[in-house]
Amino acid sequence: RKEVEQDPGPFNVPEGATVAFNCTYSNSASQSFFWYRQDCRKEPKLLMSVYSSGNEDGRFTAQLNRASQYISLLIRDSKLSDSATYLCVAPPGNTPLVFGKGTRLSVIA
Amino acid sequence: EPEVTQTPSHQVTQMGQEVILRCVPISNHLYFYWYRQILGQKVEFLVSFYNNEISEKSEIFDDQFSVERPDGSNFTLKIRSTKLEDSAMYFCASSDPGAREAFFGQGTRLTVV
């Protein structure tokens, strides 16, 4: 099943730039939303959980638009270390997390 | 900070051999998962486990695969007769029943030769 759709990228941005990713989800029953980041050959790591309209953590802001069924992730003041693949997940009900291919970000010096 | 641990970090096995991948989930978590990621592809769900039984599995998780929680801390994935196409990174994850986030171990890289 394809629960989410993301632009695979890559997004190549200079250090200090602001970058935004969108993710659309297909199942209106989804109540929990997550952004994970995955570095090359590493495990997915939870970046942010989104349970209501949005969440902010430092340079990262996630927003949820239930009417249009999309979640966005905004990264301000990009660092080289932000280079990774960003995965959104929108599990309906109690189903396990299902990942798409994610969006690749490269922050360039 | 509690974490999911997996052993070994890398395993090389001959085609047709059985392998057991081991995981120690976060101690107060009750849901356990196995995922795999073939090089260059997305992370794929294999199986979820709750209350000592499989709660959901994907079409990848065929009769060659099995999972077990042999004691109060370990969670294992067994592949009975490995194939070349089983070569992948295998991730274990766990989650708290009160939350939906899953936390992943660092993975076991399985190479079948």
Summary mean pLDDT of chain A:
92
pLDDT of residue A74: 97
pLDDT > 70 in chain A, percent: 98
Mean pLDDT, residues A49-56: 86
Q: Kindly list the distances between the CA atom of residue A108 and the CA atoms of A37, A82, A83, B101, in Å, as whole numbers in the listed order.
A: 18, 10, 9, 31
Cα gap A87→B7, rounded to integer Å:
25
Mean pLDDT, residues A39-59: 92
pLDDT of residue A73: 96
B91 vs A34, A43, A98: nearest CB:
A43
Using a CB–CB cutoff of 8 Å, tell me whether A41 touches chain B.
Answer: yes
pLDDT of residue A1: 56
Q: What DSSP letter does each residue of A40-98 carry, written as one string?
A: TTS-EEEEEEESSSEEEETTEEEEEETTTTEEEEEE-S--GGG-EEEEEE--BTTPPP-
Query: pLDDT band at residue A57, thresholds of 50, 70 and 90?
Result: very high
pLDDT reading at A68 higher than 60: yes
Mean pLDDT, residues A36-54: 92
pLDDT of residue B47: 97
A70-105 residue pLDDT tens? 999 999 999 999 999 999 998 887 788 888 899 999
pLDDT reading at A59 higher than 90: yes
CA distance A23 to chain B (A): 16
Q: Say yes or no for a CB contact (<8 Å) between B42 and A100.
A: yes
Query: pLDDT band at residue A35, thresholds of 50, 70 and 90?
Result: very high
Of the candidates A68, A38, A37, A66, the residue with the CA atom closest to the CA atom of residue A54: A66
Phi (first) and psi of residue A48, to 5 degrees: -150, 145
Give chain B's residues under pLDDT 50.
none
A28 versus A108: the higher-pLDDT residue is: A108
Angle at B54 between CA B50 and CA B55, to 5 degrees: 70
pLDDT of residue A29: 85
pLDDT of residue B94: 96
B43 vs A44, A91, A95: nearest CB:
A44
Summary mean pLDDT of chain B:
95
B100 vs A32, A38, A99: nearest CB:
A32
